[in-house]
Structure formats: structure tokens, C-alpha cells
């Protein structure tokens, strides 16, 4: 559990705490992320945990290099990103396929339920197919109570099989953004 942050905090929902706990149970030591409101609670918990190395990425494709370097250095990693950035990863995902090392991504979906921004729609539709075309197995989460178990299962799939796995967190579950707030 992250020091100073728990599910009882108003800013951390129980599924976010459970998902963070699943990351720790998978013995993940490195976390790369592009800032995202949907991941903000988990990102704060990762920063608060002194056992984790946390890296802010300037774009999502950097996550493939971070995951490769972590694995070569004996660590497990997870990449946190938003669906709008998955398109940035297409070419970098060839590294995973060709070098056969594990990749675990947790992706918050935009362009779904109650989306206000039409710019999010195209990448939302393309995200699952693009990842599958690049050899990534998709694990979708629509219900809060399934988040932690799905992360655990996808992590085992990736780390035990040297495969690429993506957990897609539905927009309905993480909540929609409001342009006016």
C-alpha cells in the first residue's frame, strides 16, 4: 500500500487502491506514464511508494523502451496511458513483438460513454484493433470490482509468457470528464 494514500481518502476510489495493490502483487518495480486524470490516483500512489521507480513520459511510445529496459535490468514494469495516445505506440510495439519481452499496459479509455470531446472518438474506436494487430492481448474492464483481478490476470499473461497485454479501463467506469469543470 502506498504510504500516505489509502482508499479511505476522498481522492482514491476502492478499485483504484485495489488496482495499485495488484500492481504491487505482480512485483512491478517500474511505472511509466503520460499524465492522465483517469490514472491520477494510481499515479499519486506510485509516486508515494518508495519501492517503485516512476517515470513521466513525454509520449506513450517511450513506454516500450522503458518496459524493455526494465526487463533487461531484471525488473517488471507497467505503462499507464490514455487511449488517445495508443496510436503513438504502433511502431514502437514492433519492439515487443520482435524481442519477445513482457509488456503490461493499463489504458484509460476516452471517446466512449458521455464523452464531450469528439476528437477522442476515432482513437477510441481504433485502440483495441490497433493493439490486437500489433500482437497485444486485450483485457477490458467495465466494472470496478473487476479492475484488480483483470490487472493481475493480464500481468500474469504478460510476465509468465513474455507477451504483450493491455487492460482497457472503460470510460463509464473511470468517469467522464466535464469541459465546464
pLDDT in tens, 41-97: 999 999 999 999 999 999 999 999 999 999 999 999 999 999 999 999 999 999 988
**pLDDT given at position 88:** 92
Q: Is 100 left (phi over 0), alpha (psi -120 to 50) or beta?
A: left
Q: Which domains does the chain have, with CATH numbers?
A: 14-116+124-174 (3.40.50.970)
For residue 160, pLDDT over 90 is answered with yes
pLDDT in tens, 105-145: 999 987 677 666 767 777 788 899 999 999 999 999 999 99
**pLDDT given at position 180:** 62
Ordered strands of the 103-108 beta sheet: 53-56, 28-33, 76-82, 103-108, 164-169, 136-141
Match 511508494 to its residue by C-alpha cell: 49
d(CA 25, CA 150): 13
> Of 8-17, 81-90, 159-168, which has the strongest mean pLDDT?
159-168
Cβ neighbours, 10 Å, residue 13: 17
d(CA 140, CA 148): 12
Amino acid at each position: 500500500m502506498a504510504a500516505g494514500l489509502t482508499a479511505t481518502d476522498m481522492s482514491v476510489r476502492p478499485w483504484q487502491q485495489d488496482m495499485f495493490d495488484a500492481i504491487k502483487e505482480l512485483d512491478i518495480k517500474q511505472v511509466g506514464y503520460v499524465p492522465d486524470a483517469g490514472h491520477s490516483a494510481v499515479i499519486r500512489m506510485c509516486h508515494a511508494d518508495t519501492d517503485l521507480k516512476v517515470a513521466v513520459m513525454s509520449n506513450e511510445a517511450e513506454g516500450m523502451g522503458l518496459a524493455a529496459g526494465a526487463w533487461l535490468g531484471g525488473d517488471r514494469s507497467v505503462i499507464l496511458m490514455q487511449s488517445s495516445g495508443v496510436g503513438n505506440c504502433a511502431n514502437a510495439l514492433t519492439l515487443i513483438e520482435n524481442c519477445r519481452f513482457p509488456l503490461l499496459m493499463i489504458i484509460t479509455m476516452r471517446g466512449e460513454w458521455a464523452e464531450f470531446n469528439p476528437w477522442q472518438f476515432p482513437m477510441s474506436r481504433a485502440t483495441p484493433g490497433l493493439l490486437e494487430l500489433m500482437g497485444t492481448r486485450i483485457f477490458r474492464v467495465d466494472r470496478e470490482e473487476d479492475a484488480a483481478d483483470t490487472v493481475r490476470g493480464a500481468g500474469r499473461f504478460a510476465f509468465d509468457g513474455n507477451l504483450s497485454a493491455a487492460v482497457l479501463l472503460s470510460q463509464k467506469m473511470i468517469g467522464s470528464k466535464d469541459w465546464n469543470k
